[in-house]
Structure 1
Amino acid sequence: MGALSEKTAEPTSGPASRTGLSGGRLTGRTALVTGGSRGIGRGIAERLGRDGARVAVHYGSNEAAAKETVAAIEGAGGSAFAIGAELGVPGDAAALWEAFDAHADGLDILVNNAGIGTSHPFADTDEAEYDRLFAVNAKAPFFVTRLGTARLRDGGRVINISSGASHAAMLPDIMTYAMTKGALDVFTRNLSKVLGPRGITVNAVAPGIVDTDVNAAWLRGEENKDAWAGAAAMSALGRVGTAQDIADVVAFLASPDGRWVTGQWIDATGGSLA
C-alpha cells in the first residue's frame, strides 16, 4: 500500500485565523459535538475547547443548556457557538449542517455523541420505541457524517460515542439501545476504510456507567440506594465514571497524538468488561 502524502497524514490546521486557546493542541481547528449541551457531550465540548478548538455545541431541544456550555468554554478562554437541530426526524442532518454553516466554513473534528437510551426490557419494547432509538442513535450519526464529509478537512477526525453495552450483555434490559450502538460500531470500522485515504481517522469510544444528569435518578435515587455502589463495583477501578474520563479519551483521539489509531472500538468503561 502506498504511503499517504504528508498533507493528508497529519491533521490540517484549518482556517488561517486562529481560534480557541492560544497554543492549544487543537488551535486553529473546528469541532462539532452532537448532544454537546449536557452530560458526556458537554464534557467533551469543554475539553476540546480547552485544547484550543472552536467548538460547535449541538443541542436537540435544550438551548439554554447549550448556551451554558458555550459560556463555560468561553469563560475558560475558548471559542464556541451553539447550533440546534432535532435528530431522529426527516431532514435532521441537513438542518444540522445548515445551522453549522452559518458559523463556520469547514470542520476538523466530528464527535457523534447525541443519543437516547431506554430501560424497557425486551418483552415491553414496542415498534415505536425501537424505531426511535435507531433513528437517533444509528441513522442520525450515519447521515450527519455522510453530509459532513464534504466539510471535513483532510487529516480530520470522526469519533463516535458507543457503549460498553454493545460488547457485553451488561444490562439485558437495554438490549435495543445496545443494538443501536452495535450498529454504530460497524459503521465506525467500515467508515475508517472509506475515509482513510484522506488521512481521516474514525474511532468509537465506549463508556460504561457514567455519572451524568441522565443517570442521576437511578444512580443517586433514594428508591435505589445500592445503585451507586453496584455501578462502582462493576469497574475494575472501583468507581463510577465521569464525563471528564470519557472526554480525555476523546481528546487523545482528536489530537495529533491519535493520528495512527483508526477503525478501533476504545473501551472506556473503567475495566467493567475485564
Structure 2
Amino acid sequence: MNRFTNKVVLLTGASRGIGAQTARRFAAEGAKVAVVYGASADAAHAVVAEIEAAGGIAKAFHGDALVPANMAKLKDEVLSTFGQIDILVNNAGIFEGGMIGNSQITDLDRIIDVNIKSVYALTEAVAPVLPEGGRIVNLSSCLGERGTFAGASMYTMSKFAVSGLTRAWAWDLADRKITVNAVLPGPIETDMGNPDAAGITALKRLGLPDEVAASVLFLASDEASYITGAQLAVDGGANA
C-alpha cells in the first residue's frame, strides 16, 4: 500500500518514540519525510538512515520547538529541499511541572513554548503552502480531554490547547478542503513512558508507538477526507 506516493510530510519530534515510528510508516507508504528534531541529532539521522536503507526518502532538519520564532525558517528549509509540503504532523512535545504549589513558572514557560506556541507558529507558517486537500494532524493526549491523575496540570493545560486549536483550525481551513485532526495517545511504551501508567487504561497495558502511528497515517490519508476537527483517542480506554 502506497497511500502517500508523491507526498511530502513535515513531522516534528521525529527522532524517537511515536514520531520516529510515524516517520518510518509514512516513508514505507511512499512519502518523502522531513524528520524534524530538537536536541537528538544523532537519533534523527539514524531514523533517516533506516528509512533510506529500506528504500525510502527522508532528511533530518533541526527545528527546536523551544524557539517558536524558528518555525518559519524550518518551513522554508523543508520547502527548499522537497519543493512542497502536503502533510504537517505536529508531534513534538514535552512533559514538565508537578503538583500545584510545588512547580516552577519556568516549567510553564517551556511547556507553552514547545506544546503550544511552536505548534501554532509552525502551523501558521505551513498552512498557506499546503495544497487543497492537505492534512494537518496534531498529537494531543488523553489528558487533552480530562485530567486523569495528579501532578500534570501544566501538561494537561497545554494539550487542552492543542485540542482546541485543532477544532478551530478545522473551520479556518475547511474552504481549502484541508482537514485538521488530533490523535490523543494514552500511556505509550516509549522512553518517556511510565510502565505503571498501564493501570489507568481499560486494557491494562501500554500502547505501542506503531498503534499511534497507524492512527496518524489514517487521518493523513484520503480515507479520512470527511473527518476534520476530530479527536481520535488511542489510549487503551483511559478516557472511556
TM-score per shorter chain, which class? over 0.9
Distance 1:185 1:252 in 2: 18
The answer (yes or no) to whether the contact 2:144–2:162 under 8 Å persists in 1 is no
1:1-274 map, 5 Å: 24-89=2-67, 91-215=69-193, 218-219=194-195, 227=196, 231-274=197-240
Secondary structure of 1:149's match? helix
Compute the displacement of 1:234 (Å).
2.5
Q: Structure 1: any 5+ residue segments left out of the alignment?
A: 1-22, 220-226
Moved over 4 A (4+): none
Identity, % of aligned pairs?
38
Tell which deviates more after alignment, 234-243 or 248-257.
234-243
Distance 2:215 2:122 in 1: 22
Q: Structure 2: any 5+ residue segments left out of the alignment?
A: none
Secondary structure of 2:86's match? strand
Compute the displacement of 1:119 (Å).
4.9
Compute the displacement of 1:258 (Å).
0.8
Distance 2:168 2:19 in 1: 24
The answer (yes or no) to whether the contact 1:56–1:80 under 8 Å persists in 2 is yes
Secondary structure of 2:164's match? helix
The answer (yes or no) to whether the contact 1:105–1:151 under 8 Å persists in 2 is no
The answer (yes or no) to whether the contact 2:137–2:181 under 8 Å persists in 1 is yes
Amino acid at match of 1:91: A
CA root-mean-square deviation: 1.3
Distance 2:84 2:182 in 1: 22
Compute the displacement of 1:77 (Å).
2.0
Compute the displacement of 1:73 (Å).
1.5
**Larger-Rg structure:** 1
